[in-house]
């Protein structure tokens, strides 16, 4: 690595369709019902985590959507923490830690998807 230019390894989603199929209620909530507050040319796994975290922190919830808010409050912080672990592992070029963090991100999203009420 140079003194000014750093090289980093990155993670990316290969298929938006796979994200949509695997987490349909989360996809709908994050990308269809709400528009992410950040530019989102690719709607991948990491973008889904960020959009859900934004909704968790800044979303407006009423009595009808309170159950959705409760699920997000409970489960999304785990996905966010795993995403941070992934980013840290990638910045250190630690492939084994990155693989473990990738599994943790996906597992956290799986859990939130399962707990999401059917109306979402």
pLDDT at position 65, please? 82
Could you say which residues of the chain have pLDDT below 50?
Answer: 120
Enumerate helices (H) and strands (E) in the chain, giving the number of each: 5, 0
Query: Look-up: residue for tokens 């250190």?
Result: 92
pLDDT at position 1, please? 58
pTM: 0.88
pLDDT at position 5, please? 80
pLDDT at position 120, please? 45
Angle (CA) 110-100-96 rounded to 5° is 160
pLDDT at position 37, please? 75
pLDDT at position 9, please? 80
CA dihedral 47, 114, 58, 85 (to 10 degrees): -50
């Amino acid at each position: 690595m140079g003194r000014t230019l750093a090289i980093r390894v990155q993670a990316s989603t290969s298929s938006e369709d796979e994200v949509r199929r695997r987490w349909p209620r989360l996809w709908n909530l994050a990308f269809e019902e709400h528009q992410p507050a950040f530019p989102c040319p690719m709607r991948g796994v990491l973008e889904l985590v960020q959009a859900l975290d934004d909704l968790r922190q800044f979303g407006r919830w009423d009595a009808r959507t309170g159950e959705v808010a409760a699920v997000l409050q409970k489960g999304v912080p785990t996905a966010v923490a795993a995403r941070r672990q992934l980013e840290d592992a990638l910045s250190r070029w630690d492939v084994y830690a990155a693989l473990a963090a990738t599994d943790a991100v996906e597992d956290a999203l799986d859990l939130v998807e399962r707990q999401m009420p059917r109306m979402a």
